[in-house]
C-alpha cells in the first residue's frame, strides 16, 4: 500500500490557517535524534528528493495511506475541525467550525 507523509507545521499562512504539507512516493523515512543538541529531525525521500525537517517546526506528522481522508484534507488545504484515526480516516467531523482548523487523536509522533 502506497503511503504519504502528512506534516502539520507550527506556522500559519496569511489566512490564519495552519501550514500543512503532504509528500508522496516516500522511499526513505527516518526520525533521527541528535542527543547532544537534544533535537529531533525527520529525514525522508519523496520523488527522489531528500528532505530534512527539525521537529521543533512541526506540530505533528503522520505516515498514512495515499487514499486516506487526511491526504485529501492536506491536498485541498482544508481547515475544518475533525479527528482522524491512525490510518488517516476521519472519525469525527465538524465542518461548521472552520475557524479553529483541525483536531486529531492523541497519538505519539509515530511513523
Q: Which of 21-25, 39-43, 47-51, 88-92 has the lowest mean pLDDT?
A: 88-92
Res. 46: pLDDT tops 50: yes
In the chain, what are the domain boundaries? Answer: 3-94
Distances, alpha carbon 103 to alpha carbons 29, 59, 97, in Å: 24, 11, 11
pLDDT of 94 reads 65
Q: Summarize pLDDT for 12-26 with one digit per residue, the tens.
A: 988 888 899 999 999
Where do the H-state alpha helices sit in the chain?
69-75
Task: Determine contact, residues 36/17, Cβ cutoff 8 Å.
Answer: no
Q: Summarize pLDDT for 63-105 with one digit per residue, the tens.
A: 999 999 999 999 998 887 788 899 999 887 765 444 334 444 4
Res. 111: pLDDT tops 90: no
User: What is the C-alpha to C-alpha distance for residues 68 and 73, in angstroms, rounded to an integer?
Assistant: 9
Which strand (E) or helix (H) includes residue 72? Answer: helix 69-75
Amino acid at each position: 500500500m502506497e503511503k504519504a507523509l502528512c506534516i502539520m507545521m507550527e506556522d500559519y499562512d496569511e489566512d490564519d490557517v495552519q501550514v500543512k504539507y503532504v509528500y508522496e512516493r516516500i522511499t526513505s523515512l527516518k526520525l533521527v535524534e541528535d542527543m547532544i543538541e537534544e533535537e529531533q529531525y525527520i529525514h525522508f525521500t519523496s520523488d527522489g528528493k531528500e528532505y530534512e525537517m527539525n521537529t521543533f517546526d512541526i506540530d505533528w506528522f503522520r505516515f498514512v495511506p495515499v487514499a486516506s481522508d487526511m491526504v485529501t484534507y492536506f491536498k485541498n488545504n482544508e481547515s475544518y475541525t475533525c479527528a482522524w484515526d491512525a490510518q488517516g480516516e476521519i472519525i469525527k467531523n465538524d465542518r461548521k467550525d472552520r475557524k479553529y482548523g483541525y483536531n486529531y487523536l492523541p497519538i505519539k509522533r509515530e511513523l
